[in-house]
Amino acid sequence: MRFDIVSANPKILESSLKHGLISRAENKSLISTHIHNLRDFAEGKYKQIDDIPYGGGTGMILKPEPFFRCINSLLEQRKYDEIIYPSPQGRKFNQPLANELSLRENLLLICGHYKGIDERVIKKFVTMEISIGNYVLSCGDIASLVVIDAVARLIPGTLGDGESAITDSFQVETGFDFPQYTRPAVYERLSVPKVLLSGNHKEIDLWRSKKAKTKFRKIKKINKDK
């Protein structure tokens, strides 16, 4: 699976894509990520990528021309299953959408910055706007990283244990994981629940399911009360 990312701020992406799960998947040739610096597609002495908004207002808007040049050059090379624009106005990003995107071959993400991007870029190219939550980030690069991470880890072979993506929180029925412990059994007088040391797998499964359901109900109530 291939991810192309158009960015005005490639350094934010580079550091994250070079480490952890995404770089491991890339080393195994399961995915490839390609960052395209918007400034490389800007013209003039100052390689200007942003400008003041028509109609007035504060903040700078990313200009259409560098996006058009960059995206058109990418479209000459391959087709994209989706051209994604991360924005707070988009479709809510959740596990079902991550699952859906993990079945695609080529995704292109275009990252906004400052106050936004020229609407003509969205109208012309974007097939899906995605919001990672009801809050405003300083740039779409961070949201793109969230999307890439959540999608890449679903590609078979990316995770060490082939089973683990299926049993993740949000993939399981209750939507939440049970509490996990590792050694030591007692730390600073805090003990691991006895059932987990019992070796009785039926009891352990029962305990885990009960704990996950309790947590699910608790969080659901907190979210509802807010």
Residues that bind ligand ADE (CB under 6 A): 86-88, 131-133, 135-137, 140, 143
CB 137, min distance to ligand ADE, A: 4
Farthest-apart Cα atoms in the chain, separation: 71
Those residues with Cβ within 8 angstroms of residue 98's Cβ, 6 or more apart along the chain or in another chain: 147, 150, 151, 154
CB 18, min distance to ligand ADE, A: 22
Check if the beta carbon of residue 157 is closer than 8 Å to that of residue 30: yes
- Strands 190-191 vs 186-187: parallel, antiparallel or unpaired: antiparallel
Complex with ligand ADE: residue 46 or 135, whichever CB lies closer: 135
Distance CA 128, CA 113 (A): 17
Complex with ligand ADE: residue 34 or 91, whichever CB lies closer: 91
CB 152, min distance to ligand ADE, A: 17
Complex with ligand ADE: residue 53 or 88, whichever CB lies closer: 88
For residue 125, what is the DSSP state? H
Complex with ligand ADE: residue 132 or 154, whichever CB lies closer: 132
Distance CA 226, CA 216 (A): 16
CB 102, min distance to ligand ADE, A: 18
